[in-house]
Amino acid sequence: MNQLARRTASFVATVFLAGSLAYLIPRFPALWTDYGSFPSISDFLHWWLWALQGGFINDKVTQAVPWTLTLMGLATTVSFVIGSIAGALMASPFGKIGRIARWGTPAALTMYATPYFIFGMVLIWLFVWLWAVFPTGGGYTLGETPTLTWEGIRTLLWHGTLPTLSIILTGTAHWLVLMRGMMVTIEGEDYVIQSRAMGLQDWRIFAWYRMRNCALPQFTQLFLSMGIIFTGAVMVEIVFAYPGIGYLLQQAILGNNAGLVQSIVITTAIIFAVLLAIMETLYPLIDRRIVRD
C-alpha cells in the first residue's frame, strides 16, 4: 500500500509540475509587461480544471505520440543491446576478439561525444544528397496515408531508417563506453579473482561473474537516461521533419501556439511518468536484492 501511494504521489507531482510550468512560463512575461502582475490563482485553478477534464488532449499530439515512441523505443532497444555486448567484448579476455574490439575504443569515444542531430545531418549528406538512397525526411511519402499493408510498412521503414540510425549510432557508443568502463572496473574484484583461483573457464567468468554483474548498472542507467534519449529523439525529428512530438513542438513554437505547446508538455509528462512507474515495477525482477515494502 505504501508503495502504491508513493508511486501515485510521484506520478501526480510530475504531471502537476510539468503542467504548471507549461501554464506559467508563457504568461509571466506578457502579464508582467502589460499589467505588472502575475497570473491569478483563480485562473491557474480554472486552467487545471480544464486540463483535468481532458481539455489538453489534442488530435495532433495523439497522432504524433506513436511516431516518437516507435522511433525512441526501437532505437533505444537496438543501441542498448549492441552497445552493452560490444562494450563487454572490448574488455573480454578472449585474445583475438578482445584485441579487435579494443580498436574501436577511439571511434566509440568520438561517437559518444557526438550529438544525435549531428549524425542525422551527416547521414542526410551521405545517403540523401551524395547517394540518393533514402528520402530527405518525413515519416511517409507525401500524398499517401500510412497503412499496415506490406507496401505501407516498407514506406515507413524507408523513411524511418535514417532517423533511427542516427539515434542508434550515438546510443550504441554511449552504452558501449559505460559497459566497458564497468567491466574494467570489476576486473580486480575479489569474486573475479576467486573465480579464477577456482579454475573456472574464462568464458564462464566473463559471462556470469563480470558481464552479468555489470548489466544491473546498465539497466539503472537506462532508466535514468530516458529523458536524455527523448531529447535526442526530439532533435532528430526536427532534422528529418519526422512527424513526432519533437517536430510538432517545433511547429508549435514557430507558430506561437502556446496551447499546443502546453498539450505537448502535459502529454509528454504523463508518458514519462507512466514509463518510470513501469520501470520501477520491473526493476526488482532484474535485481533480486531489492525487497518491496
Statement: residue 185 has pLDDT above 70: yes
When the pLDDT of each residue in the chain is averaged and rounded to a whole number, the result is 79
Could you tell me if 87 and 177 are in contact, meaning their C-beta atoms sit under 8 angstroms apart?
A: yes
Range 217-222 average pLDDT: 80
* More confident site: 195 or 127: 127
The lowest-confidence range among 4-8, 181-185, 269-273 is 4-8
Q: What are the chain's domains?
A: 70-255 (1.10.3720.10)
The confidence band for 38, taking pLDDT boundaries of 50, 70 and 90, is low
Predicted local confidence at residue 93, as pLDDT: 64
- The residue type at 158: W
- 264: three-class secondary structure by DSSP: helix
Residues sharing a CB contact under 8 Å with residue 243, sequence separation 6 or more, in sequence order? 63, 64, 67, 138, 139, 237
Residues sharing a CB contact under 8 Å with residue 115, sequence separation 6 or more, in sequence order? 170, 232, 235
The lowest-confidence range among 81-85, 188-192, 245-249 is 188-192
The lowest-confidence range among 33-42, 103-112, 185-194, 203-212 is 33-42
Write the Ramachandran bin of 16: left for phi over 0, alpha for psi from -120 to 50, otherwise beta: alpha
Statement: residue 36 has pLDDT above 60: no
Query: Cα 115 vs. chain centroid, distance in angstroms?
Result: 13
How far is 140 from 154, CA to CA, in rounded Å?
Answer: 10
Could you tell me if 97 and 186 are in contact, meaning their C-beta atoms sit under 8 angstroms apart?
A: no
Rg (CA), the chain: 23
The lowest-confidence range among 50-64, 89-103, 274-288 is 89-103
Statement: residue 35 has pLDDT above 70: no
How far is 74 from 101, CA to CA, in rounded Å?
Answer: 25
Statement: residue 248 has pLDDT above 70: yes
Predicted local confidence at residue 95, as pLDDT: 58
* More confident site: 105 or 160: 160
Range 97-114 average pLDDT: 73
Predicted local confidence at residue 232, as pLDDT: 74
Could you tell me if 232 and 167 are in contact, meaning their C-beta atoms sit under 8 angstroms apart?
A: yes
- The residue type at 51: A
Cell of 84: 552493452
* More confident site: 100 or 89: 89
Quickly count: other Cβ atoms within 10 Å of residue 254's Cβ: 8
